[in-house]
Structure 1
Amino acid sequence: MNRRVVFIHDAWLTTASWDRFKSRFTACGYNCIALPWPPQEDGSARSFGLGLSRLVEHYTTIISGMPQVPLLVGHGFGGLIVQLLIDRGYGRAGIAIAPVPPRGIRPWLLAFDLLPVLFRAGLHRQVDLSFERFARKVAQTVPDSDRLMEFQRHVVKAPARIFYEAALGIDSKVDFANDHRPPLLLLAGANDRSIRASLVASNYRHHHRSIAPIAYKCFAGHSHWLIAESNWEEVADYSIEWAQTQSGRF
């Protein structure tokens, strides 16, 4: 059985955000790799003008060179990239966790949520995620005693261009009527203040325009940090079980 998994991280994060998920998938026999955004993931060296098309091209090139077509798992912007990749036939299945939605799904809501980022960043700049915003919008369910440690460990600068493109629907089009799309699972956190569960549910309904397999699950009590906060195991286990049920389709 093909057990290769590629993890794609969110904006402002690094591959380290997947450490817990990788340990769970590895324990279940999967061959896991978390691939950083180009050119490297240390925050200081990311391309200022990095956009969605460049990100998709980056992952397409890597996946095309793999001996086996992998399962793709993405979080936030990584979840949007997963949807773009499998829509183009890259990936045997996709799991998008609290994903930024493709073009056309409540763009006004996404633009409103991104306003603080867009106002203070130029198109070719990098933008910081403040600890205050991390605590309020990303990881509000994490205990106060752990939140600063998580912020210092995981958060880096992100290219501003991707936020403009997501808000304006640039390079984020998915063919929701693509009947040949591989199976896709969309996961949401009920308490997510960054990518609201209602936005993920709307994303799910749009994918119903095709006959390709699509599934949705919302986890009570979870924030946008559902891949690493308390009870992250239930999210990982659900993802693994879904992937196992899809194995006959691969």
Structure 2
Amino acid sequence: MTNLTAHEQQEIDRANTSGLQPVVFVHGLYLLASSWNNWRTFFEERGYTTLAPGWPDDPKTVVEAHDNPEVFAHKRIKQVTDYYAQALSRLKKKPAVIGHSFGGLIAQQLADEGLSSVTVAIDPAGFRGVLPVPLSELKSGAPVLSNPFNYHRAISLTYEQFRYGFTNALSEEESRQLYEQFAVPGSGTPVFQAAAANLNPWTEDQVNTRNPERGPLLLIAGEKDHTVPLAVVTAAYKLQQQNPSVTAFHEIPGRGHSLTIDHGWREVAEVAFAFVAEQLSISQ
């Protein structure tokens, strides 16, 4: 298993000495941990301590990511989940976990392991048992899935691909700004794993939706998301309702896959914060 970076361990130590409730943020493909900076400030201003570990071997900046894209290759779902589990297990207080896209899937897997006190999954990638495959999802995944050799590669989205998959609900000006500010290469492996999940009983892309250790879960869906369409999140919600813990769903009208980083991020953060605060108050 890849060891946590010195910076990530320092953040864990800071959280443990603060005495505050920790919130851990999990990013998805084509973004870095720094994409959560606004969210971290938002939660810290409201009395929480926050951490945003990267995926294994993530560079610190977008510039470094483009200079050395191959560091993103070969990252599997279980490898990334185990990496975050390593971080969560070192916290003195069981954290709230908030994830976006593949980070939303990973957040649910961490909850499945009993490592999260409350979980928010935003436009989360689907898991085994989630059956809808809308055409927009296929088109968003095409830059990876169109070539089987991409399984072992790091894939960079062109601006046009990012525009379709992430920022289709935004203006051209904001879309270009977000692409330049945030977009980085991503591993092709998880995309193939997700695409084959319902064909592979041993897939790493699965969640035990009946696990009573999961704890409260909120699923958030962007109405106009092309990468993880509303139908996919709705299907995941129906499966997660089998769980004895609280399961909630919230649709954000008119929003695409960039809803955590675009001009409307605060609206989404407020929905997530309200659920986290409510569920933590109930459990205390």
Q: TM class by shorter-chain length?
A: over 0.9
Distance (whole Å) between structure 1 residues aligned to residue 213 and residue 55 of structure 2: 27
1:225-246: per-residue Cα shift (whole Å, max 9, x none)?
1112222211111111111110
- Is the Cα contact below 8 Å between 1:76 and 1:195 reproduced in 2? yes
Distance (whole Å) between structure 1 residues aligned to residue 145 and residue 39 of structure 2: 31
User: In the TM superposition, what is the alpha-carbon distance from 1:24 to its structure 2 partner?
Assistant: 1.2
2:237 to 198, 201, 204: 204
Q: Map 1:175-186; keep pairs closer than 5 Å.
A: 175-186=208-219
Q: Which amino acid aligns with 2:188?
A: A
Partner of 2:283: 249
User: In the TM superposition, what is the alpha-carbon distance from 1:179 to its structure 2 partner?
Assistant: 2.4
- Is the Cα contact below 8 Å between 2:95 and 2:116 reproduced in 1? yes
Distance (whole Å) between structure 2 residues aligned to residue 107 and residue 81 of structure 1: 20
Unmatched segments (≥5 aa) in structure 1: none
The TM-score, its normalising length taken from structure 2, stands at 0.83
Q: Which amino acid aligns with 1:90?
A: L
State the superposition RMSD in angstroms: 1.8
The TM-score, its normalising length taken from structure 1, stands at 0.94
Q: Map 1:1-250; keep pairs closer than 5 Å.
A: 2-41=20-59, 42-43=64-65, 44=68, 46-106=71-131, 108-109=133-134, 112-113=138-139, 114-120=141-147, 121-169=149-197, 170-247=203-280, 248-249=282-283
User: In the TM superposition, what is the alpha-carbon distance from 1:108 to its structure 2 partner?
Assistant: 4.2
Distance (whole Å) between structure 2 residues aligned to residue 47 and residue 140 of structure 1: 25
- Is the Cα contact below 8 Å between 1:2 and 1:70 reproduced in 2? no
User: In the TM superposition, what is the alpha-carbon distance from 1:168 to its structure 2 partner?
Assistant: 1.1
- Is the Cα contact below 8 Å between 1:105 and 1:199 reproduced in 2? yes
Distance (whole Å) between structure 2 residues aligned to residue 46 and residue 166 of structure 1: 21
1:146-180: per-residue Cα shift (whole Å, max 9, x none)?
22221111111111111111111120111112123
Q: Which amino acid aligns with 1:19?
A: N
Unmatched segments (≥5 aa) in structure 2: 1-18, 198-202
Distance (whole Å) between structure 1 residues aligned to residue 164 and residue 151 of structure 2: 25
Q: Which amino acid aligns with 1:10?
A: G
* Stretches of 4+ aligned residues off by more than 4 angstroms: 107-111
User: In the TM superposition, what is the alpha-carbon distance from 1:138 to its structure 2 partner?
Assistant: 0.7
